[in-house]
Amino acid sequence: MSVELYFFQPLGTNSGRVFQALLEKGVDFVEHELSGRDFDHLQPEYLALNPKGQVPILVHDGAVLTEGMLINEYIDECFDGPPLRPEDPRARWTMRGWSRWAENDLGRCLMMINWNRVVPSFVGERSPKEMKHFIETRVPDPDRRRAWLSAFEQTTPPERLAESRRRVTAGAQRVEAHLREHRFVAGETFSLADIDLLNFCSFVIDWMPELVSAKDVPAWAEWRARMNERPAVKAMRARTNFDVPRPGRVPEAQDGPDNDAPAGQAG
Amino acid sequence: MRKVYHWEPNGANAQLLITLAEKGLAYESIFLDVLAGENHQPALTALNPGGELPVLVDNGHVFTQASYICEYLEEAYPKNPLMPVDAHGRWVVRGWLKYVDDYYASAMSDLAWEAGRAKVDPAALTAGAQSAPTPERQQVWREHRDPFPSDRLDMARDYVARGVQKLDDALENAPWLAGSTFGLADIALYAWTGYLPWAAPGAVTSNIAEWLERVGARDSVQLALQSGRADNAFAIAAPGPEHTRWG
C-alpha cells in the first residue's frame, strides 16, 4: 500500500485539511511538498497528475484523488484509526454543511480579502507583464484565472470586497453562536468539520483583528486553543512558516486560489 | 411525519424529490411558489433562514442543502442504496455532487433563467428582491431583474459546456455516472441537466439525450415530476444558487 500527498504547507486551507486528516488518522504517507512560489503546481510534472493544477492531491496505490473535502471522507473510509466522522447520520449532515461553509463561504470571503492584499507582491523578480502572461497562459481553471488576474491587477470591485468583509463579520458570529452550544463543530465529537474550520477560517482571529478579534468570539477562541493542543496540529504548526507578508516582502505564492489559501494562514 | 418544502421539481428540488422516491420514503409535500415569494415567508425562513429550497423535516429535524440531504437519506435509510460500497466509488459520486454544487448548478440556472426570463413578470422580481430574507438572497434577486452582463453569461456557458463534456465522457462507456448502477450522481446531474434541452439545446449530445431518457423513464422521476404544477418543470426557472465567490 502506498499513500502519497502533494501539498503546499502542512497547516492551512486545502493542503492543511488533508495533512491534518492523515495525521489524526495515523496514516503513514510520503510527502511531496510543492513550492507555490515557484509555481511547482503549474509545471508539467504536476499537471500530469492533476490537470486542473490544484493542490493537494492524494495518490493512493496509484489512484489520484482530488478535492480536499472528498479526500478526507475517503481517508476516513479507507484507513484504520480514530473515526473522523460522527456515526449518527444527522451529525454527519451537520459536519458536511459546516465543512462546505468553512471552505466555500467564510473561507472564500477571507481568501478574497487576503488574496487582494498579497497577490501584487507575488510578482517577485518577474516583470508585471511576465506575471500577467504567466497567469493567462498557465492557470487552467477559468474562474481561478479570473481571480488571480483581478487580484494581481487590483480590479476586484470594491463593493465585492466590502461584501466579503461584511460576510466575515457576520460569519464569525455564526461560528461563535454554534461553538457556544457545541463542544465540537459537528456536536460532541471531533470531526472533519473541526479540521476544516481550523484550516480555512481560524487564522482570521490573528490576521484580521479589524474584522474579528478574540474578544468578539470567545467560544471560537477557546475552541481554537483546544485544537492547537492536538498533537497533529502541534506537529503541523511546528513546520509551518507564519511569516506575515508586508509591503516590500515577497510572500509565499502558495497562498493563492490554487490552494484556496489565504496568506500566512495560522490555526 | 416527514415533510418536504419544495418548488417545481427541477434543480435542487428535483434532486431531493427523486432521491426520496428512489428510497421509497413517503412524505408530505408542501409546494411553495418561488416566483410568488412564498419561500420568503416565515413558515419557511423559520426552518431555513435563507429561504432556499428544498427543505426536509425528518423526525422533527430540519435539513437543508440537497446534496447533503441526499447523503443523509442514504446513510439514515440504507435500503435501495444509491451509492457504491467502495471508498473510491463513493469519492467519485461525491465529486459529481460537489461539481454540481460548486459550478454546474449556478451556471445552468443562469442559462435557464435567460431562456425563461421573458415569461416572468418584472414586478415579481422586484417583490422577490424585497421579500428575500437575507442580504445574500436580496442581491441574487436584484441581479436577476436585468439581463445578465455578457461576462456572466460567457462564464455560465463555459461551465455548462465543461459539465456537458464531463457528462458525455462519463456516459461514453457506462450507462450511469458511477458505472453500472444508478445513484446519487445521476440524480444530481439529471436534476440540472434536465434544463439543457431548453436552455442550451445545441449542447445536448446523443449520449446525454439517451441518458436523459433513461433517467426520465424511471418511476421515481415520474413520481417526482407529479409533485409540480407546471406542464414542464424544466421550462421554468427562478433565481438560483449563488456563484462561488472567488474574487
Q: Report residue A226 as a C-alpha cell.
A: 483546544
Q: In what order do the strands lie in the sheet with A57-60?
A: A30-33, A3-7, A57-60, A63-65
Residues of A near B (Cβ–Cβ under 8 Å) read 63, 65-67, 69-71, 73-74, 77-78, 89-90, 92-93, 96-97, 100, 104, 108-109, 112, 115-116, 142-144, 146-148, 150-151, 156, 160, 163-164, 166-167, 257
Alpha-carbon span B69 to A90, nearest angstrom: 9
Judge contact between A231 and A219, C-beta under 8 A. Answer: no
> Given this model, what pLDDT does residue A141 score?
82
What is the value of pTM for the model shown? Answer: 0.94
B87 touches chain A (CB under 8 A): yes
Query: Is A259's pLDDT higher than 80?
Result: no
Residue numbers in B near A89 (CB within 8 A): 72, 75-76
B135 touches chain A (CB under 8 A): yes
What distance in Å separates residue B142's CA from the closest CA in chain A? 15
B102 touches chain A (CB under 8 A): yes
Alpha-carbon span A30 to B217, nearest angstrom: 48
Alpha-carbon span A186 to A94, nearest angstrom: 6
Query: Is A58's pLDDT higher than 90?
Result: yes
> Given this model, what pLDDT does residue A242 score?
65
Residue carrying the nine cell digits 475517503: A74
Q: Which of B88, B102, B247 sits opposite A115 (nearest CB)?
A: B247
Q: Which of A69, A71, A146 sits opposite B247 (nearest CB)?
A: A146
Helix or strand (DSSP H, E) at B87: helix B87-99
What would the mean pLDDT of A37-51 be, rounded to a whole number? 89
> Given this model, what pLDDT does residue A262 score?
35
> Given this model, what pLDDT does residue A250 score?
34
Query: What pLDDT band is residue A123 in, cutting at 50, 70 and 90?
Result: confident
Query: Is A248's pLDDT higher than 50?
Result: no
Contacts of A22 (CB under 8 A, 6+ apart): A3, A5, A29, A75
Identify residue A98 by its one-letter amino acid code.
W
Give the ipTM of the model, two decimals please: 0.97
What residue in A sits closest to B57 (Cα-Cα)? A90
> Given this model, what pLDDT does residue B53 score?
98
Query: Is A52's pLDDT higher than 60?
Result: yes
What does pLDDT average to over chain A?
A: 88
What would the mean pLDDT of A64-90 be, rounded to a whole number? 98
Q: Report residue A257 as a C-alpha cell.
A: 486560489
Q: Is A267 helix (H, G, I), strand (E, B) or coil?
A: coil
Contact B247 A109 (CB under 8 A): no
- Exposed, middle or buried by CB within 10 Å (0-12, 13-18, 19+), for A28? exposed
Of A128-142, A195-209, B25-39, B78-92, the least confident: A128-142
Where chain B has pLDDT below 70, the residues are 247
What residue in A sits closest to B158 (Cα-Cα)? A142
Query: What pLDDT band is residue A4 in, cutting at 50, 70 and 90?
Result: very high
What is the Cα A175 distance to its own chain's centre?
17
> Given this model, what pLDDT does residue B245 score?
74
For CA atoms B104, B108, A110, A129, give the dihedral sign: positive
Alpha-carbon span A151 to A133, nearest angstrom: 14
Judge contact between A198 and A233, C-beta under 8 A. Answer: yes
Query: Is A266's pLDDT higher than 50?
Result: no
Contacts of A8 (CB under 8 A, 6+ apart): A15, A33, A34, A35, A36, A41, A55, A56, A252, A254, A259, A261
Alpha-carbon span B33 to B31, nearest angstrom: 7
What would the mean pLDDT of A46-60 be, rounded to a whole number? 94
